[in-house]
Amino acid sequence: MVAQAIAQATAEAITYPAVGAALDIEGVSHAFDIDGATLPVLDNVNLAIAPGEFVALLGPSGCGKSTLLRLVAGLEKPRAGALREDEVRITGPHPSRVVVFQDPTLFPWRSVWDNAALGLEAQGILKTQRHRVDAVLELVGLTSFRNAYPHQLSGGMAQRVALARALVNDPKILVLDEPLGKLDSLTRISMQAELVALWQRKGFTTLLVTHDVEEALVLANRVIVLSDRPARITADIAVDRPYPRHRGDPYLAGLRKQILGLLGLEATW
Binding residues for ligand ATP (CB under 6 A): 32, 34, 39, 41, 59, 61-67, 102, 229
Residue 153 to residue 159: CA distance in whole angstroms: 9
Exactly one of 150, 179, 203, 230 binds other proteins (CB under 8 A); which one? 150
CA-to-CA distance for 25 and 83, rounded, in angstroms? 5
Taking the CA atoms of residue 173, residue 177, residue 179 and residue 184 in that order, the dihedral angle to the nearest 10 degrees is 150
User: Is residue 127 part of the contact set for other proteins (CB under 8 A)?
Assistant: no
**Interaction partner, residue 105 (Mg ion, ligand ATP, other proteins, none; CB < 5-8 Å by kind):** other proteins
Nearer to other proteins, 165 or 245 (CB): 165
Restricting to residues 153-182, name those near other proteins by CB under 8 A: 165, 169
CB atoms within 10 A of CB 234: 14
- Between residues 133 and 226, which has the closer beta carbon with respect to ligand ATP? 226
* Strand boundaries in 101-241, DSSP class E: 173-177, 205-209, 222-226, 233-238
- Cα–chain center distance at 81: 22
Strands 233-238 and 37-49, bridge-based pairing = unpaired
Q: Which is nearer to ligand ATP, 90 or 136 (CB)?
A: 90
Of the two residues 126 and 189, which places its CB atom closer to other proteins in the complex? 126
Task: Decide: is 3 part of the binding site for other proteins (CB under 8 A).
Answer: no
> Strands, E, within the chain: which ranges?
23-34, 37-49, 54-58, 80-85, 88-89, 97-100, 173-177, 205-209, 222-226, 233-238
Q: Which backbone phi and psi does 88 adopt, to 5 degrees?
A: -100, 130
- Residue facing Mg ion at closest CB distance: 66
Shortest Cβ 42–ligand ATP spacing (Å) = 8
123, interface contact from other proteins, Mg ion, ligand ATP, none, CB < 5-8 Å by kind: other proteins
In this chain, which stretch among 40-48, 130-138, 146-154, 250-258 interacts with other proteins, using CB under 8 A? 146-154
Closer CB to ligand ATP, residue 26 or residue 212?
212
Which spans of this chain sit near Mg ion (rule: CB under 5 A)?
A: 66, 102
Q: What are residue 140's phi and psi, to 5 degrees?
A: -90, 5
Under rule CB under 8 A, which residues in 94-123 are in contact with other proteins? Answer: 94-95, 97-99, 101, 103, 105, 107-111, 118-119, 121-123
265 near other proteins, rule: CB under 8 A = no
Distance from C-alpha of 4 to C-alpha of 6, rounded to nearest angstrom = 5
Distance of closest approach, residue 71 Cβ to other proteins, in angstroms: 12
Measure Cα distances from 70 to 30, 84, 97, 180, 208 in Å: 11, 14, 11, 18, 13
Least separation in angstroms between CB 73 and ligand ATP = 12
CB of 174 to other proteins, least distance (A): 11
Which residue from 192, 76, 60, 160 is spatially nearest to 68, judged by alpha carbons?
76
C-alpha 163/C-alpha 161 separation (Å) is: 5
Residues forming the site for other proteins (CB under 8 A): 70, 73-75, 92-95, 97-99, 101, 103, 105, 107-111, 118-119, 121-123, 149-151, 165, 169
